[in-house]
């Protein structure tokens, strides 16, 4: 494929569909070897894209189809000329059109951060679409320190000139979350975070997403506990990075009290979010999917 990895050659198909307001949006379609189990839909974090899920998608693909989305303004999806459309309501509508394009009536959502919030909203508004949910380092409350950290960098990263500078910028932004990452890891992460334009790396996201984040009233984070309650009848796995500043231990524990059958796994030596290539993450996801079958 375009990423140039021989291990992933021909593993997925590039697909595009039109949003309700006419944007050209992208997703990766990893076909399964055989049709059968309910597909997995991967939804990325606020500034992230479909490439984040490649490692876990290639594993899941052995048994079931995987769809991995670029939300509007990220990756290969078109930027929205109106940055005020960068909000969960718009994203959920886009997800519905993606599923219609893929002809998938029911999915298991694997959502990282923002993607997990979208999964909860779908549970509250269209539960018939969900056979299961995997929340990656997100819950009904976002810890204030994590929210503050995110709002300080989204859309504000200075331009870089080389891939080495891109990797250094990625390390400066996310270094606390992945303390064991090597130089090779950071370069790999940069290749998923930036795209090359005229020979120069450029962040694969619309910087105006940052304006949408900062436009939210200070201290007015929505109460998502009623939305989380919609997951009660839906099988759910929750992953938390041990070092996370977004999903606190207190919120993680309350999630278990609110949903006693919640499957919980803490990923050691990871902040926000786990990359889903950790042995603990892989094992938890594969066991959860096997139980659903």
| Pairwise CA distance, residues 260 & 232, whole Å | 9
pLDDT at site 147 = 86
pLDDT in tens, 18-65: 999 999 999 999 999 777 899 999 999 999 999 999 999 999 999 999
- Tell me the per-residue pLDDT of 205-243, one tens digit each, with 9 for 90 and over: 999 999 998 887 765 567 899 999 999 999 999 999 999
User: What gap in Å lies between CA 243 and CA 213, rounded to an integer?
Assistant: 23
For 19-28, the pLDDT digits (tens) are 999 999 999 9
For residue 70, the Cα-to-chain-centroid distance in whole angstroms is: 9
Q: What pLDDT, in 10s, does the model give residues 103-124?
A: 999 999 999 999 999 999 999 9
Tell me the residue ranges of DSSP E strands in the chain. 13-18, 24-30, 40-43, 66-70, 107-112, 130-136, 194-197, 200-203, 236-241, 263-267
pLDDT of residue 219: 56
- The CATH 3.40.50.1820 domain(s) of the chain lie at 6-155+222-292
3-state helix, strand, coil in the chain (%, to 5): 40, 20, 40
Q: Mean pLDDT in the chain?
A: 93
Output the pLDDT for position 19. 98
For residue 23, give Cα distances in angstroms to 17, 26, 71, 80. Answer: 8, 10, 11, 7
Q: How many angstroms separate the Cα of 270 from the Cα of each of 38, 136, 194, 239, 240?
A: 29, 12, 22, 11, 8
pLDDT digits (tens, 9 = 90+) for 4-20: 343 455 799 999 999 99
| Residues 73, 51 contacting (CB under 8 angstroms) | no
Which pLDDT belongs to residue 33? 78
- pLDDT for res 8: 52
Q: Give strand pairing partners of 29.
A: 13, 67
Query: How far apart, in whole angstroms, are the C-alpha atoms of residue 169 and residue 162?
Result: 11
**C-alpha triplet 287, 88, 173: angle, nearest 5°:** 75
Q: Is the pLDDT of residue 162 over 90?
A: yes
pLDDT digits (tens, 9 = 90+) for 124-145: 999 999 999 999 999 999 998 9
Give me the pLDDT at residue 216, please: 77
CATH level 3 topology of 6-155+222-292: Rossmann fold (3.40.50)
pLDDT at residue 3, as a whole number: 40
Q: Quote the pLDDT of residue 2.
A: 36
Is residue 151 very low, low, confident or very high in pLDDT (cuts 50, 70, 90)? confident
The number of residues making up the chain comes to: 293
- This prediction's pTM: 0.94
Find all residues with CB under 8 Å of 180, minimum gap 6, and list them: 269
pLDDT of residue 246: 96
């Amino acid at each position: 494929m375009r990423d140039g990895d021989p291990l992933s050659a021909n593993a997925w198909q590039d697909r595009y569909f039109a949003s309700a307001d006419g944007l050209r949006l992208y997703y990766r379609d990893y076909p399964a070897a055989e049709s059968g189990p309910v597909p997995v839909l991967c939804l990325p974090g606020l500034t992230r894209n479909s490439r984040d899920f490649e490692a876990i998608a290639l594993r899941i693909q052995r048994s079931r189809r995987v769809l991995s989305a670029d939300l509007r303004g990220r990756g290969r999806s078109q930027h929205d000329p109106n940055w005020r459309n960068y909000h969960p309501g718009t994203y959920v509508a886009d997800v519905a059109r993606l599923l219609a394009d893929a002809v998938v009536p029911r999915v298991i959502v694997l959502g990282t951060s923002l993607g997990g919030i979208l999964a909860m909203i779908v549970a509250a508004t269209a539960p018939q679409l969900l056979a299961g949910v995997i929340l990656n380092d997100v819950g009904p409350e976002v810890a204030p320190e994590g929210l503050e950290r995110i709002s300080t960098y989204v859309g504000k990263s200075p331009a870089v000139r080389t891939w080495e500078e891109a990797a250094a910028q990625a390390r400066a932004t996310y270094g606390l979350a992945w303390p064991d990452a090597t130089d090779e890891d950071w370069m790999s992460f940069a290749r998923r975070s930036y795209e090359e334009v005229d020979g120069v790396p450029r962040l694969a996201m619309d910087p105006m997403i940052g304006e949408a984040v900062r436009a939210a009233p200070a201290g007015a984070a929505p109460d998502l506990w009623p939305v989380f309650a919609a997951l009660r009848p839906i099988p759910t796995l929750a992953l938390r990075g041990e070092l996370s500043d977004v999903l606190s231990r207190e919120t993680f524990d309350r999630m278990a009290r609110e949903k006693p059958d919640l499957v919980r796994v803490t990923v050691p030596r990871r902040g926000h979010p786990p990359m889903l290539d950790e042995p603990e993450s892989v094992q938890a996801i594969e066991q959860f999917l096997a139980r659903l079958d």
